[in-house]
Structure 1
Amino acid sequence: MRQKSCQARLEAELQDRLRDIRTLWRLYQRNPETSHRELGRFGEYGLSCDYVARGTFQGQKRGYFRWQLSWGGPADEFRFYMDENLDAVEIEYWFLDWYDGASRSLSGENYALLNEIFQNFKDLGLVKTERAQSFGN
């Protein structure tokens, strides 16, 4: 049986991620060391945070800060496109599986949640450091 396309699976994958992230973020805000019995700690959720410079991938016109949650097939991540002050101006969720991918720009409360998390990454110095490293600084 053929697997559904990434576009067909996108909404369910996004909602699952958002549910987990909301749960972990609330715990983190109360106490950063708090752990969820199934999800672990917010600071350990996902694989990496890095900056993907413009032109890294064929046809990529702008750089973005990436919160990569899983890798391989399937993979998923949030992409934060920034202005010159390193503030997020657009946030996308990407779901990728071998030679297929789909994305959605966030809005409303989902955007607000991920923007709050991005601000935390920024406050920790992660965004500036990762961006500088990608440019060899």
Structure 2
Amino acid sequence: MRQESCQERLNSELQDRLKDIRTLWRLSQRNPEVTHQELGKFEEYGLSFDYVAKGTFQDQKRGYFRWQLSWGGPADEFRIYTDENLDAVNIEYWFLDWNDGASKRLSGGAFKLLDEIFQYFKELGLVEAERSKSLSY
């Protein structure tokens, strides 16, 4: 049986992630202490939030903020590209699995949701801290 490519799985994986994130984000907005029975707390969701400086990977032309949700095979993450004021101008979802990968640029409600979360990360000081840490190496 043939394994579907990342491109074939991309939309389904993205929709599943957005559903979980939307659920946790709404719960967190109402009460940050609430824990979802299956998903946990919003603050505990995902693996890391960091800044990937330009040139970290071969042929990488721009730096971006990465909210890494899972790692290995498969892995998935959101990449947030910003302007000079650190406002999101482009957000992509990446789904990666052993020598394969696919991405989708977010728009509409999905972009709005992730931008709102990115603004929250900014308010917490994570955005500036991660960018500064990356640029100091």
TM (normalized to structure 2)? 0.98
Unpaired runs of at least 5, structure 1: none
Match of 1:91 in 2: 91
1: CA distance, partners of 2:132 / 2:100:
30
1: CA distance, partners of 2:33 / 2:71:
25
TM (normalized to structure 1)? 0.98
Give the number of equivalent residue pairs: 137
Q: CA RMSD in A?
A: 0.8
1: CA distance, partners of 2:99 / 2:50:
22
Aligned structure 1 segments of 4 or more residues deviating by more than 2 angstroms: none
Q: Deviations over 1:54-105 (max 9, x none)?
A: 0100011000000000000000000000011111000000000001100000
How many angstroms does 1:2 deviate by?
A: 2.7
2: CA distance, partners of 1:117 / 1:125:
13
Question: Letter of the aligned partner of 1:99 in structure 2?
Answer: N
Match of 1:65 in 2: 65
Match of 2:10 in 1: 10
Match of 1:76 in 2: 76
Question: Letter of the aligned partner of 1:68 in structure 2?
Answer: Q
Match of 1:124 in 2: 124
